[in-house]
Each structure stands twice: as C-alpha cells, then as structure tokens.
Structure 1
Amino acid sequence: MTPQRPRDVLNALFQAAVQAASPAQTLATHLPGQPAGRTVVIGAGKAAASMAQALEAAWDGDMSGVVVTRYGHALPLSRIRVIEASHPVPDAAGLAATEQILDAVRGLTQDDLVICLMSGGGSALLCQPLPGIAPDDKRDINRQLLHSGASISEMNCVRRHLSAVKGGRLAAACLPARVHTLLISDVPGDDPVDIASGPTVGDPTTCRDALEIIDRYRLRVGDSILRMLKDGRAESIKPGDARLARATVSMMATPYAALEAAASAARHAGITPYLLGDRWEGNATDVGKAMAGLVLHAVRDQGPFTLPCVLLSGGETTVTVTGSGRGGRNVQFLLSLMLALGEQPQVHALAADTDGVDGVEPIAGACIDPTSWARTRALQPLPRTWLDNNDAHSLFGCLGDAVVTGPTLTNVNDFRAIYIARPGLAPTGI
C-alpha cells in the first residue's frame, strides 16, 4: 500500500470523525413512534438543516415545521422550512426565527408530536429573551461571555436564565403535545441541558448560579436584568417539573463517538490510537502546553505510548481575548502546542472544529508539521506575538497550513489529532 503523508492521514482521521457525526448516518435509529395527530418539527443549531434533511428522508408520514441554522448552512427541504441567522452573536433574523418556532407549536393537542432537532449553536440561534429584557442587552451579554474565557456550561447557565425558550421553556410551550428531542452533542460530558442551552430539558442551575458567573467574569449587566435574576423572575424550569412530563430525549451523535471513529481509521492505517477523552476544557493556550508534555513523553519513549501513534482528544477550550487578531480556539491551542514543542521531527498535528468554523472564521482549524517552528520563526512578528494577539488564524494562513472544509453541517466540537512517528517512518494505509 502506498505510504501517505502524515498530513493526509490527519485529514482522513478528521473526516472520519465528522462523518461519524453526520445526521444522515445516525438519525434514523433514534426516531419516536408515529403520533395519532400531527407531527411538527422544530430545531436550532449548526446541524439543524442537515438533521431536518435526514428526518425528511427517514420519516414515513406527514410533517411540517421550521428550523433555524447558521448563515450558509441551509439545505433545500420539501416539508420543513429552514431559516438562517447569525452565530455566535444573535441577530434580528434569529429573533424572528425563534418567534416562528414558537408559532409552530401553538395550539397543539395531546395527540400531536413535536420532534425537536438540537445541535451546537442553538444557544445563539434561539435568541428570544424573557419579557422585560431587550434583545440588544441579551446580545451584549452573549458577546461579553464569548470573550470572557467562561466555560460553555457557564455561558449556557447565564443564557438559560435570560431566555424565553431555553432551560425547558420550549418544551413547556409545546404542551399538551408529546416532545421528542434529537440531540447532537457539542459539549463535554454530553449533558442535554448544555446542548443549545437545553430548550426542552429541566435546568438544575439557578438564578443565583447565573449571578455568580456574571460576578466572576465581571460582566456588564443592566439593572433590570440583575433585578430579574435576584428576585427569581428569570428562574428556569427544573428537572421533574410536570410541564416536562411528556418530553423525551435521544442522543444521536457525540464527541466521543467521533473520536472512536477516528481511532478506528488510525488502526486501519497501522497507527496505534490513544483516546485522551472528549472533556478537555480550560484555556486553549494552557491545554496546548499540557498536551505538549504528553507528546514529549511519547517522543522520548516514555509513558504508555507505542510508536507510531496518534493522540486523539476533544472538548471545548476557551480563549480569553486580549489581542486584536482573528482568534479561533483550535488554532490558539495548536500554536501553543507548537511553541511548547519547538522543533520535533516526529510530530505532526491537526486541530479543528468539527462544524468547519473555528471561532468566527470560515476556517476549520490548521495543521503543524516538523517544519512549522522554523517557518514561523522566519516570519514577522516573533512567534509568541501571534499567540498573545490571538491571531493564530493569520499565522497559519501565512504558512499555508489552514484547514478549510466549508460547513460540515454537523457539530461535535473540537477535534485534535497529534501523530507521532517512529524516526524515519511515515504512516501507511487509510
């Protein structure tokens, strides 16, 4: 079998992970039974249109409905309407789409079924605030959260308590109909309450939790919002609430399943995979340094690693934005990894977001190879400056090492693969 370049192998592992999370591959086995009445489809997220497309192909019966997805992620459908809106910062289109989703579930009966399609990105796309909260104020808080370094669970806790649809409120709006939610997880731990901020599930967090997060990250929040959180008017629906008695959930794709698919592809290539988990969180720069320590153990033939191998991991890191660059948590991780490793002739790596968009750029991520360190040092400014300015996308663009996929129409969060070769050997297979 013809040997392949390490970068080709890494790209193949990434594609295997993305394919494993494709709604066309996974949705049909998670469908509920047919109702006696109507079937109404609603949904939100980066994968909402592809989930709706897979549902149309698999559902044997009438249906109607509306879903909202990110700009550029729509697909042609015959029975379900697709609306595009802004992500990660909400806009007027998302507000209007949320109202249309609420309209679609008004006046249902207990014989009706609502199929709710939720994936990552739904928090920004389902953006109607609670009465008394201005949309601009909610957008501003969302923007602050994105730049604060808060974890995804912390961000979603605040979002749930300011929303008219999150934290179980969308399921309550569907009563008395039955609600079955199909989820593609993009969060560490796959907790349904954190996927699109849990519109159809009970929320165990409280207004007090949201206030503590606002204080921890020094968010600028208006007095009216603070009063609603302090007096409990913004409280979400809790687990066990009677309004959720007819709501069920099915997890159809997860980050760990995507990593397992990549591991299977690595074994086929004759490379030993090590799955390091899908719950890596924290500052992207710090995670890059930590991962470099594991890589150096492997390079030095220390630890439990058999070469050639690939270290696979997922999760959702954060970036506390201090510079003026083009950002991206995956490329921030990758640049930090490269700086910590220096020149390593055996190491190649890829870090990318499985939805095809790292940060706000239409770029999935990037790759590094044994020449990356020297090529970066030959550029201006100095290597560390790119990191401090949160400008890794610009650096990897200059190096020609960006990974551009276009919208993948799914989202199981970050994907990281670090290939460590035996000296002088290249991978084969795939």
Structure 2
Amino acid sequence: MTTVDLAPADSLGIAEAGLTAAHGGRLVREALRRGPAAGLLARAGRVHVVAVGKAAVEMGTAVRSAAGAAFRSGVAVPAAPAGPVAGFTVVPGDHPVPGPGSLRAGLAVREYLRGRDFDERDLVVLAVSGGGSALVSRPSAPLGLDDLGLLTTALLRAGIDVTRINELRKAVSGIHAGALLPMAGRARLLGLVLSDNVQLGARAVASGLSYPGSVHYARAAEVLAEVAPALPPAVVDRVRAALARRAATAQADPAILNVEVGGPQTALDAALAAARAQGYRAFSLGDSVQGEAREVARRIGAAARRLAERTPGPVCLVGAGEVTVSVRGPGRGGRCQELAWAMLPELPGLPDASFTALATDGQDFLPGVMGARVTGESLGLAAGLGLDWRALLDRNDTHAALSAIGGCLPGRVTGTNVCDVYALSWGNGAVPR
C-alpha cells in the first residue's frame, strides 16, 4: 500500500489528535479518579472485570490498575487477537459479522459471571466499547449463528445506520440489552462505556450491553421488515420467533451505575484544539455527522466554500460521526474511504486543501486500512492514472483507487472507538512552521 508524506499542519495531524485524546485506557483512568464511579470502586472489596469491545484490553487493564489490590480477575473480548494480559482471560470475537469466535466469547463471559459466588463485597465492572454487538454472541432460539450472520450482512449492505441495526440485533440476543447483568448475582455493578454512537450515546453502545431494559421490540420489527426482502423467508421466520422468545423471557432489571467515559465529542474537542494550536481558524461540523457518504461530502464541500468566501485562511473544518454507505457495486472500501473519495471534486479551488477521514478504531471496514487522506490535487492525479472518479464511486470501489493515488492510511490498533473523525484544512501555506 502506498503511503503519503504529510506536513505537520495537515488535516491528518489534526484528526490524529482527536484519536489520541479518546484512548479508552486514559478515559477510564480519568473516570475512576473522581465522581460516582470512583466512589463505587473505593467501596469494593473485590473487583471483577468484563471488558468487551474494540478497546476491551485498554479499558480492562485501566480498571485493573485503578482497583489495585482489590482486583481479582477479568475476561476481555477484543476485536483482534492479543497476547497474554495479566489477570485476564482474553477471548477475541468476530467483527463486523458474528462468527464462531463471537459464540466462544459469549460463552466465556457467561461462564465467568456464573462461575463465581458474588456478594455485596464484589464489584463487577463492565468496560464496554463499540463493536460489542458482534464480538459477543448468544442468539435467542431458534436463531442460529448462520442466521445471525446472514441478518447482519444484509443489514450492513442495506446502508441502515448502526443504531437501527442494533435495535434488531439486541432484540434477538441473550447477552445484550442488559441480559448479562442478572448473572452477576448480588454483586454491585458498574458500567464504564466508551461511546461510538452519535444518536443515542452510551446506552446504544454494544447493543446496550450494560443497559437493562433497552430493547424496543416495535423498532426491531420495523428494521426487520425493511431488510426482510434480502433474506431467505425461513431466516425471517426464525428472527421473528427469536424476537418473541426474548420478549417472553425478559427478567427484572438489576441496578447498575453506567458512566459514559468519552465519545465522539471527546475526539472532536481535541481535534479542534489541535487545529487552533497550529494557527487555524477552526470550525466544528459537530459530533454527529451522519448520512450517505457522498451526500455528506457535498455538504462539507458547500460549507467549506461558504467559509472560504468570507474567512481568510488558514481554515479547518472538523467533525466526528459515522457516515453510511449503501453498497450498490462490487467494489471494496469502507465508509471513511468512500467519504474521502467523494470529497475529491470538492477540494480544487481551496488552496493547500487536505481532507482526512479516520476510523478511530483503526479499521475502516477492510483490514489494514483506517481511512484516507486526499488533497486538492487528488482528482487530477486520479484522472492522470486513468481512474474514472464517478464510475469508481458508483461501484463502491474506493480502496483500490485511493491506494493508487497514495491516499489510504495504514490501519493499526488504537485503543479506542469513538466513531470517525473528519478534518478539512486549507490555506495551510500561511501556517507558521
């Protein structure tokens, strides 16, 4: 994969500042230093940790450190294999489509909670980050893993936003929407949640893993009706049966203190601060950027042109959120790559223009890539290589195209997941170096 050499005042450095500020371990440590979470931890005689999500290891080990001698053990379910983690059993799940690893992880979490005789001296901490909807799995009967995989794939390909996807996924799960919590018996419960949801916040993360009573069956049925034409009728029937079974077996909701330790706003604030520190006039697109990628690109481009007419450079637009892609073609890409490619015709005319879209979890759907960075010269470079911008966009074939022009950004483990960060800078020739 081709990489690019970036100026220090470029949009990528600004987006990266947002990612760094949202590290799950750092945010958990801050949450456990003060406030109600700190008080609950201080009163605990024994601390046990269930960490699930793309930042599971970082968040779980931060709890272990804060608990000190009270820490007993934990189970962590990350998205990627990890080496040994002191005090933890690590069971990676599958993502974005649940697989055999997700079933193993779901079983490991259930056995961990059920295998201990908890009482009031025990504190079970659920450290939850995005990705947990797929990483742990226990489909409600008669739904099977293959059915759940088909359902998830159909939902993703339909371009349905993740909040609505999870309305259905948690309604057919024996783990999500607080279903795990009664297994902790008499233990006190603390949820530390790193939010990657721009609509409902922490309570929607990992399909409400630490939030009891968060299933809305009518909304779930609406999402199922929307995606049903893309599924075999027998699968649709089993999903409906699983919905009915989950509704019929609902338990009393145990008490839990849930604390949102950070989210998209955390990354947005840090990126804005970084832009201003570098000499930019920085403007916010908000922390809930949503919509079809190509439509969002047009909105960002229009906003930039309005600003450029009345605001002397250097200027930077920063946002956080999660765009969607309705997959209509056979190509390969991700939502950040699609957005960056869609931005190409929006950049010419803005001097020194640079646009970056970063998936804060380090993976923009495809392994090995976390997003893309393009400039005002990228459209001409693509044309010079014989790349048809419109045709590639219509085929959703953005990964190969961006790789050809050096726009793809290598993926990595980031220790966080707070949606995506977007930065558009221009006029940076006026930024003091």
**What is the TM-score of this pair, normalised by structure 1?**
0.90
Q: Which secondary structure state, in structure 2, belongs to the residue aligned with residue 200 of structure 1?
A: coil
- Contact 1:171–1:244 at 8 Å: present in 2 too? yes
Shift of 1:35: 5.1
- Distance (whole Å) between structure 2 residues aligned to residue 420 and residue 384 of structure 1: 24
In structure 2, the CA distance between the partners of 1:5 and 1:62, relative to structure 1 (3 Å rule), is closer
Alignment-mate amino acid for residue 31 of structure 2 = H
Query: Which residue of 1 is the match for residue 89 of structure 2?
Result: 81
Shift of 1:178: 1.3
User: Cα distance, 1:415 vs. partner?
Assistant: 0.6
Per-residue deviation, 1:108: 2.5
Match of 1:259 among 254, 264, 268: 268
Query: How far apart are residue 53 of structure 1 and its match?
Result: 2.3
Q: Distance in 2 between matches of 1:111 and 1:266?
A: 47
Deviations 1:157-189 (Å, cap 9, x if unpaired)? 011101111111112222322110111111104
Helix, strand or coil at the partner of 2:290: strand
The equivalent of 2:247 in structure 1 is 235
- 1:20-35 aligned within 5 A: 20-31=21-32, 32-34=40-42
The percent of aligned pairs where both chains have the same amino acid is: 29
Gaps of 5+ in 2: 33-39
Name the structure 2 match of 1:156.
Answer: 166
Q: Relative to 1, partners in 2 of residues 1:237 and 1:428: Cα closer, same or farther, differing over 3 Å?
A: farther
Partner of 2:186: 176
Aligned residue number for residue 10 of structure 1: 11
Does 2:144 match 1:134? yes
Q: Would the aligned equivalents of 2:143 and 2:242 in 1 still touch at CA under 8 Å?
A: no
Residues in 2 aligned to 1:127 and 1:357: alpha-carbon distance in whole angstroms: 21
1:19 aligns with 2:24: no
Code of the residue aligned with 1:290 in structure 2: it is R
Query: Residue 246 of structure 2: SS of its match in structure 1?
Result: coil
Q: Is the 8 A contact 1:51 1:117 kept in 2?
A: yes
Structure 1 CA distance for aligned equivalents of residues 417 and 401 of structure 2:
25
Contact persistence 2:91–2:108 (CA under 8 A): no
Give the SS at the match of 2:41: coil
Indicate if the aligned counterparts of 1:166 and 1:198 stay in contact, CA closer than 8 A: yes
Give the distance between the partners of 1:250 and 1:237, measured in 2 at CA.
27
Q: Does residue 226 of structure 1 match 2:240?
A: yes
SS at match of 2:275: helix
**Partner of residue 105, structure 2:** 97
d(CA) in 1 for partners of 2:323, 2:343: 13
* Structure 1 residues not aligned, in runs of 5+: none
Paired letter, 2:47: T
CA deviation vs aligned residue, 1:357-402 (integer Å, no higher than 9, x gap)? 1112321111111211100111234111111111211111101121
- What is the root-mean-square deviation in Å for CA atoms of aligned residues? 2.2
For residues 293 and 213 of structure 2, the distance between their equivalents in structure 1, rounded to whole angstroms, comes to 28
The AA in structure 1 aligned to 2:277 is H
The question of 1:330 aligning with 2:317 is answered no
Structure 1 segment 21-420 matched on structure 2, within 5 A: 21-31=22-32, 32-34=40-42, 37-60=45-68, 61-72=70-81, 74-106=82-114, 107-189=117-199, 191-217=201-227, 218-220=229-231, 221-229=235-243, 232-235=244-247, 242-245=252-255, 247-301=256-310, 305-342=311-348, 344-420=350-426
Asked if structure 2 preserves the Cα contact closer than 8 Å seen for 1:203 and 1:236, the reply is no
1:210-267: CA deviations, max 9, x gaps? Answer: 11111123442431222343xx3223999xx85232x111111211111111111111
1:98-144 CA distance string (max 9 Å, x none): 11111111142333211111101111101111132211111111111
Which structure: greater helix fraction? 2
Using the alignment, how far apart are the partners of 1:39 and 1:205 within structure 2?
28
**2:376 is matched by which residue type in structure 1?**
P
**TM value normalised by structure 2:** 0.90
- Whether the 8 Å contact between 1:110 and 1:175 is mirrored in structure 2 is no
Question: For residue 365 of structure 1, what is the amino acid of its counterpart?
Answer: G
